[in-house]
Amino acid sequence: MGSPSSSSTLFTSDFYVYQLQASLKSRDPFAGKLIHARIIKSGLHMGVFLMNNLINFYAKTGSLSDAHHLLEEMPVRTTLSWNTILSAYAKQGRIDVAHRIFDEIPERDSVSWTAMIVGYNQMGRFDNAIRMFVRMISDKVLITQFTVTNILASCAAIEGLNIGKKVHSFVVKHGLSSYVCVANSLLNMYAKSGDQKTALVVFQRMRSKDISTWNSMISSHMQSGRFDLALSLFKEMAERNIVSWNAIIAGYNQRGFDMEALAFFSNMLKDSPLKPDKFTLASILSACANLGNLELGKQIHAQIIRNNFELSVAVENALISMYAKCCGVEIAKKILEQSGTSSVNVIGFTALLDGYIKLGNVKPARHIFDSLVDQDVVAWTAMIVGYTQNSLNNEALELFRLMTREGPKPNNYTFAAILSVSSILASLDHGKQIHANAIRLGSVFCFPDHITYIGVLSACTHVGLVEQGRSYYNLMKNEHKIEPTLSHYACLIDLFGRAGLLQEAFQFIESMPIEPDVIAWGSLLSSCKVHKNVELAKVAAERLLFIEPENSGAYSALANLYSACGKWEDAARIRKSMKDRGVKKEQGFSWVQIRNTVHVFGAEDGSHPQKDAIYRMIEKIWKEIKKLGFIPDTQSVLHDLEEEVKEQILRHHSEKLAIAFGLISTPENTTLRIMKNLRVCNDCHTAIKFISKLVGREIIVRDATRFHHFNNGSCSCRDYW
């Protein structure tokens, strides 16, 4: 049989190309293999055009290995042959293989380079994409509008304004700015890089604008908080799509204007035939979460189910976050179980984690964390912070150790969280180990900012380092040129006051260049109470009540100070004034969690079902710690009563009752964790030190001031709180 004529060969090749394209539309890989077999049988497998189409078919139907094998068998390959395989590997995220193919291409063209840039962008490796673009220019390869739009996307992703400006100059030089897609990319780059002024200039100079242009400019205005300009452009639009509405809704939501986001969403439902998409729903559910609006969130969820809306990962995570933040943690958990933990992202996980932490139960959160497919550094850090916020500091340390062995490299947020654990535990050794770990892993601590100095000054306050605190304050102002805020001033006032330098604290307040707030005067008042300076306390209380007339703490502190100094009539006068003005004193409570149940106690509390056993235990403890040398501080009872009555009142303070219940409800040698809404009194603080020695247990008390870790007769605060 003779070989087919050239005209019949061309006809047959076109026929097979048509068949391949039809099979590609139907995504039928089996049909493609049949066509391939017929091509070989027809002797047409040597034709480059037909083979390129076959490579394209295999690559786009997921048979990349077949496509690559076919390329290797081709006796003649064009740049198109190489680019087809290269692009397929790049889009699949197999960028290393793509790069090897790129290096093998004899004659690379613009498509080859752009395919690599697109691949790097999809992998989030934007710096690599930019370096590839620089090499492309050096090799004097023709730059197309597709190359430029992708490299501008890279610049926008990293907010690389300086690089983006250079690309802009290149665009103008090569006459590419007339393409609408390029102008839109420039607009997007400037907007996302924070240069709203230039973004507006680009918008105004564009001769031709499409709907994407308007949407980009609206989004830019919304992101920068210029809502009036965004709404003005929105009203000017001749045609809007769902992206136009989403730009306004998402902008409001991301800037914290959640009520406005909901109102605009309502207008969309009334005035537009457009249906919400996954981005609309994610923004609206986020707004519901921020507002704590569970009912509206449930209505939107019901609409999603009723309309058979296909749940995307973004919407699933938004639902999980909404329910978790709106006290619907169990519903959030069910959604997670239905969708599978593999689809939850860090935002959803951290919201669910936060929900469980508020319930005081981190075990389910840890189970979810262990189930996560992508345990990135944010997830690890969130779990560590969750343990810390729930006073599970040992668990936080253990998880951090596991992270350094098996997890991702900790970042500065991780180190900050775990260093706070060391601070809470007053463990210098742990802190030193973590510091060494940070250095070993190459984590660079930033140049100090105002938050750094708040932490340093607060640390000096809690351990009484007056001179060091004064030195750091001067260093902050004079060397690092950081202007003090009210928080810095409050730290210094507290530092001087706790150390008994009350006049210096008062003079510091008087010299402040900004008006002292409630915290400043309240700190001085507390110090006056501790050091029994009645005259200065009166001044501090008056100033505090001038700013905040309903502040019960000021009345109580002053009344308690008069009582401590034996000025019972003055104390009674202050309490009467408080009553006449309708100011209510905050009642002290302590609580302890036993087997997922929170037990709350007030002073002299007789409401607990196990009250008899609790009071028997406290009586027993009281006798035993007195044998160890404990002397009740009856001066802590600020009423003119008999000593025996004062001692009984002290014995039945809320934190002591909570500890007694904890001791009869938990196994020996386990840690007790008590919470208190007010500051622990002197008597309780001393008593708990003795109790920790008596029972051989660590007792952690979180009061309104700080964590206290009692162990073997001492406290982590070193009696300075």
Comparing CA positions, the residue from 410, 495, 503 lying closest to residue 458 is 495
Q: Both 540 and 601 in a single domain? A: no
Rounded distance, CA 386 to CA 354, Å? 7
Contact indicator for 356, 332 with CB cutoff of 8 Å: no
Question: What residue has token string 């100070």?
Answer: 561
Rounded distance, CA 39 to CA 54, Å? 10
How high is the pLDDT of residue 425? 60
Q: Determine the average pLDDT of the residues in 382-401.
A: 84
Q: Determine the average pLDDT of the residues in 132-149.
A: 90
Q: Both 577 and 451 in a single domain? A: yes
- What's this model's pTM, rounded to 2 decimal places? 0.52
How high is the pLDDT of residue 7? 42
Q: Determine the average pLDDT of the residues in 604-630.
A: 92
Residue 29 has pLDDT above 70, yes or no: no
Q: Both 525 and 502 in a single domain? A: yes
**Kind and range of the H or E element at 314?**
helix 313-325
Q: Both 678 and 607 in a single domain? A: yes
Residue 139 has pLDDT above 70, yes or no: yes
Which ranges of 255-277 does DSSP label H, i.e. alpha helix?
258-271
Q: Determine the average pLDDT of the residues in 475-484.
A: 88
Instruction: Provide the token pair at 8.
Output: 């019949």
Our measurement of the distance from residue 388's CA atom to the centroid of its chain's CA atoms, rounded to an integer in Å, reads 15
The pairs formed by 528-536 with CB atoms below 8 angstroms and a separation of 24 or more are 528/497, 528/502, 528/557, 528/561, 529/557, 529/560, 529/561, 529/564, 530/497, 530/498, 531/497, 531/500, 531/502, 532/561, 532/564, 532/565, 533/502, 534/561, 534/562, 534/565, 534/567, 536/502, 536/503, 536/506
∠ Cα 47 48 50 (to 5°): 70
* pLDDT tens by residue, 269-309: 999 999 999 999 999 999 999 898 999 999 999 988 888 88
* 411 in any annotated domain: no
How high is the pLDDT of residue 4? 43
Main-chain phi, psi angles of 600, to 5 degrees: -105, 140
Rounded distance, CA 101 to CA 122, Å? 18
Across-strand partners of 673?
Answer: 700
352 or 477, which is more confident?
Answer: 477
* 54 in any annotated domain: no
Share above pLDDT 90 across residues of the chain, in percent, rounded to a whole number: 30
Residue 22 has pLDDT above 50, yes or no: yes
Residue 9 has pLDDT above 70, yes or no: no
How far is the CA of 647 from the CAs of 492, 546, 566, 567, in angstroms?
Answer: 36, 36, 17, 20
Across-strand partners of 701?
Answer: 674, 708
Distance separating the N- and C-terminal Cα atoms of the chain? 102
Residue 568 has pLDDT above 70, yes or no: yes
Q: Both 576 and 479 in a single domain? A: yes
Rounded distance, CA 527 to CA 537, Å? 8
Q: Furthest-apart CA pair in the chain: how many Å?
A: 125
Rounded distance, CA 217 to CA 205, Å? 13
* 626 in any annotated domain: yes
How high is the pLDDT of residue 492? 92
357 or 690, which is more confident?
Answer: 690
How far is the CA of 178 from the CAs of 148, 161, 644, in angstroms?
Answer: 12, 21, 92
Contact indicator for 33, 62 with CB cutoff of 8 Å: no
How high is the pLDDT of residue 438? 77
Rounded distance, CA 139 to CA 143, Å? 11
pLDDT band at 426 (very low <50, low <70, confident <90, very high): low
Specify the CATH number for the domain of residue 500: 1.25.40.10
37-46, 121-130, 468-477, range with the lowest pLDDT? 37-46
* pLDDT tens by residue, 665-720: 999 888 898 988 888 888 899 999 999 999 999 999 988 777 788 999 999 877 76
* 277 in any annotated domain: no
Residue 53 has pLDDT above 50, yes or no: yes
* 198 in any annotated domain: no
Across-strand partners of 709?
Answer: 700
DSSP 384-419: HHHHHHTT-HHHHHHHHHHHHHHSPPP-HHHHHHHH
**Do β-strands 672-676 and 699-702 pair in parallel, antiparallel, or remain unpaired?**
parallel
Rounded distance, CA 679 to CA 522, Å? 14
Q: Cβ neighbours of residue 73 under 8 Å, at least 6 residues apart? A: none
* 461 in any annotated domain: yes
455: containing domain: 447-581
∠ Cα 495 497 501 (to 5°): 105
pLDDT band at 604 (very low <50, low <70, confident <90, very high): confident
183-187, 206-210, 629-633, 641-645, range with the lowest pLDDT? 641-645
257 or 584, which is more confident?
Answer: 257
Our measurement of the distance from residue 463's CA atom to the centroid of its chain's CA atoms, rounded to an integer in Å, reads 30
How high is the pLDDT of residue 152? 94
Comparing CA positions, the residue from 548, 497, 547 lying closest to residue 526 is 497
* pLDDT tens by residue, 438-470: 777 776 756 877 777 887 888 788 778 899 999
How high is the pLDDT of residue 45? 59
Instruction: Provide the token pair at 22.
Output: 């039809």
pLDDT band at 624 (very low <50, low <70, confident <90, very high): very high
Rounded distance, CA 187 to CA 546, Å? 52
Question: What residue has token string 């930033």?
Answer: 446
How high is the pLDDT of residue 8? 44
How high is the pLDDT of residue 1? 36
Q: Both 562 and 599 in a single domain? A: no
Residue 509 has pLDDT above 60, yes or no: yes
How high is the pLDDT of residue 543? 84
Q: Cβ neighbours of residue 355 under 8 Å, at least 6 residues apart? A: 323, 324, 325, 327, 329, 332
Rounded distance, CA 56 to CA 24, Å? 9
Tell which of 550, 581, 612 closes a domain.
581
Residue 584 has pLDDT above 80, yes or no: no
8-12, 207-211, 519-523, 621-625, range with the lowest pLDDT? 8-12
* 352 in any annotated domain: no
* 711 in any annotated domain: yes
Averaged pLDDT score across all residues of the chain:
83
Tell which of 565, 581, 597 closes a domain.
581
Q: Both 635 and 558 in a single domain? A: no
Tally of domains within the chain: 2
**Kind and range of the H or E element at 676?**
strand 672-676
176 or 688, which is more confident?
Answer: 688
Q: Determine the average pLDDT of the residues in 316-328.
A: 87
Q: Both 640 and 552 in a single domain? A: no
pLDDT band at 11 (very low <50, low <70, confident <90, very high): very low
Tell which of 581, 598, 614 closes a domain.
581
Q: Which of 410-414, 521-525, 655-659 has the highest mean pLDDT?
A: 655-659
Q: Both 563 and 519 in a single domain? A: yes
* pLDDT tens by residue, 231-268: 999 999 989 999 999 999 999 998 889 999 999 999 99
The half-sphere exposure of 527 on its side-chain side, counting CA atoms within 13 A, is 27
Comparing CA positions, the residue from 464, 536, 539, 478 lying closest to residue 502 is 536
Question: What residue has token string 């605060």?
Answer: 717
How high is the pLDDT of residue 296? 92
Q: Rg of the chain's alpha carbons, rounded to an integer?
A: 35
Which amino acid, residue 248?
I
Rounded distance, CA 455 to CA 491, Å? 9
Q: Both 463 and 541 in a single domain? A: yes
DSSP assignment letter at 481:
-
Q: Both 623 and 546 in a single domain? A: no
How high is the pLDDT of residue 720? 65
Q: Both 571 and 451 in a single domain? A: yes
Rounded distance, CA 343 to CA 685, Å? 48
Exposed/middle/buried for residue 539 (C-beta within 10 Å: 0-12, 13-18, 19+): middle
**Do β-strands 699-702 and 714-715 pair in parallel, antiparallel, or remain unpaired?**
unpaired
Contact indicator for 528, 500 with CB cutoff of 8 Å: no
5 or 719, which is more confident?
Answer: 719
